[in-house]
Amino acid sequence: MQIRIMVKETNQNISISSTPSLGGGRGEADALYMRRCIQLARCGLLTCRPNPMVGAVIVVRGRIIGEGYHIRAGEGHAEVNAFASVRPEDEHLLPEATIYVSLEPCAHYGKTPPCAELIIRKGVKRVVVGCVDPFARVQGRGIQMIREAGIEVVVGMLETECRELNKRFFTYHEKKRPFILLKWAQTADGFIDDHFRPAKISTPFTQMLVHQLRAEYDAILVGRVTDEREHPRLDVRHWTGPSPRRYVLSHTTPLDALMAQMYADGMQSLMVEGGGKTLQSFIDAGLWDEMRIETSPLTTGGGTRAPQLPEMASLVSREAYGGNVVTWYRYDERNDVELEKPRK
Ligand SMILES: NC(=O)c1ccc[n+]([C@@H]2O[C@H](COP(=O)([O-])OP(=O)(O)OC[C@H]3O[C@@H](n4cnc5c(N)ncnc54)[C@H](OP(=O)(O)O)[C@@H]3O)[C@@H](O)[C@H]2O)c1
């Protein structure tokens, strides 16, 4: 399979052949080590931003001789940490080694030298890459550089999983806006408050889960009415991790201007926590990637209506916590296409 990438800075087209199918044997082993890369990468979840999470594993004859992940922006990339972990007595095995890396090795001088160069210098035999880096200064160049040095490169191993791992980073770079999660809690009869007064819909446990999620987001937003009515702190206090930057939506900043501002501010992810009008605005503008809806058995009989679930929403999972149920949806572009078809 050929992946064609347009490099924005030079408008050059780079063609990268990928080998995504597993096909048994070596493919299964490749998938296994790529899974380990993803597992390692996740360790950087709260520390490596704004960089993507990346894991790397070095394997010789079925034995992992080195592994690492990107811990903190400005410090060593996953490949650097993986090579550094190889024991001196295993160094001589590198010419036989395969390095697995969940994201394309970088090709530019940033805060650290290019990983593609390091891989070439270390002289491994084979490189297996999870997915291409959408970052303008990489975009296929790392893969091209390694191939030009005569090293075999396989691209696209567990590509879906590798892209999912860095969904916020990918959305930011590809759509030029933050990855957007719409989140609300509703009563069994479809209200998000109790006659326009705040209602306790989530439980202490699900509230803790929300704080855990907040720590993964760069920005958090509520509408002007919610801000004035509830004065929510929107921070991370029932979990550990950084608090997101707080935004309030009002007529002074239209939605598209706010998105452009967040992109300029480097906000890769945004969690929208209500209220009704605000959530509906994002839905109507098609500005969302995932939804997390918590439904409690409580009824209030009146108040602000929960937003309408759009047709693009595709169910991902349903989790029960006592009486409360959390459902996750993702924006399904196929459903979007369906909507555009002329009706018979
Ligand atoms: N259960 C939950 O998960 C949950 C979460 C949060 C809030 N709530 C509840 O929700 C209720 C408030 O909901 P609500 O619908 O009345 O108000 P809201 O969504 O909190 O705020 C509405 C205001 O946000 C601004 N806004 C919304 N969309 C906009 C857009 N596209 N462009 C510019 N500004 C925009 C406008 O401000 P301006 O008027 O300044 O133009 C609008 O009046 C509260 O009672 C709160 O308790 C529930």
pLDDT tens sequence across 272-308:
999 999 999 999 999 999 999 999 999 999 999 999 9
- Predicted confidence (pLDDT) at residue 343 exceeds the cutoff of 70: no
Residue of 108 and 261 predicted with greater confidence: 261
Q: What SS3 class is residue 160? A: helix
pLDDT tens for each residue of 159-207: 999 999 999 999 999 999 999 999 999 999 999 999 999 999 999 999 9
Per-residue buried b or exposed e for 155-165, using 16+ beta carbons within 10 Å of the residue's own CB = bbbbbebbbeb
C-beta 201 within 6 A of ligand 1: yes
Percent of the chain past pLDDT 70, that is, above it, reads 90
What's the 250 CA to ligand 1 centre distance in angstroms? 8
User: Rounded mean pLDDT of 7-26?
Assistant: 50
pLDDT at 17: 52
What's the 227 CA to ligand 1 centre distance in angstroms? 8
Percent of the chain past pLDDT 90, that is, above it, reads 83
CA distance 99 to 78: 11
As given in the structure block, the two tokens for residue 233 are 């702190």
Q: What SS3 class is residue 274? A: coil
Look up 79 and say whether it is catalytic. yes
- This prediction's pTM: 0.89
C-beta 302 within 6 A of ligand 1: no
C-beta 277 within 6 A of ligand 1: yes
CA 303, distance to chain mean position in Å, is 34
- Predicted confidence (pLDDT) at residue 25 exceeds the cutoff of 50: yes
Q: Name the strands in the sheet holding 219-223, side by side, starting at the edge strand that comes first in the sequence.
A: 245-249, 219-223, 269-272, 179-186, 290-295, 324-331, 313-321
For residue 230, which atom of ligand 1 is closest to its CA?
47
- Predicted confidence (pLDDT) at residue 23 exceeds the cutoff of 90: no
CA distance 48 to 50: 6
C-beta 273 within 6 A of ligand 1: yes
Which residues, including other chains, have CB under 8 Å from residue 128's CB and lie 6 or more apart? 30, 33, 34, 98, 99, 100, 101, 153, 154, 157
- Predicted confidence (pLDDT) at residue 3 exceeds the cutoff of 70: no
Residue with the smallest CA separation from ligand 1 atom 11 is 275
Lowest mean pLDDT, pick from 99-113, 169-183, 225-239, 310-324:
99-113
For residue 222, which atom of ligand 1 is closest to its CA?
20
For residue 198, which atom of ligand 1 is closest to its CA?
47
CA distance 245 to 67: 33
pLDDT at 54: 98
Q: If you average pLDDT over every residue of the chain, what do you get? A: 91
Q: What SS3 class is residue 171? A: helix
Residue with the smallest CA separation from ligand 1 atom 36 is 250
Quick one: DSSP state of residue 14?
E
For residue 232, which atom of ligand 1 is closest to its CA?
6
C-beta 289 within 6 A of ligand 1: no
Q: Rounded to 5 degrees, what angle do the CA atoms 87, 88, 93 make?
A: 85
As given in the structure block, the two tokens for residue 80 are 């650097």
Q: Which of 79, 104, 159, 273 is catalytic?
A: 79
Residue 15's CB: how many other CB atoms inside 10 A?
Answer: 10
What's the 288 CA to ligand 1 centre distance in angstroms? 16
C-beta 282 within 6 A of ligand 1: no
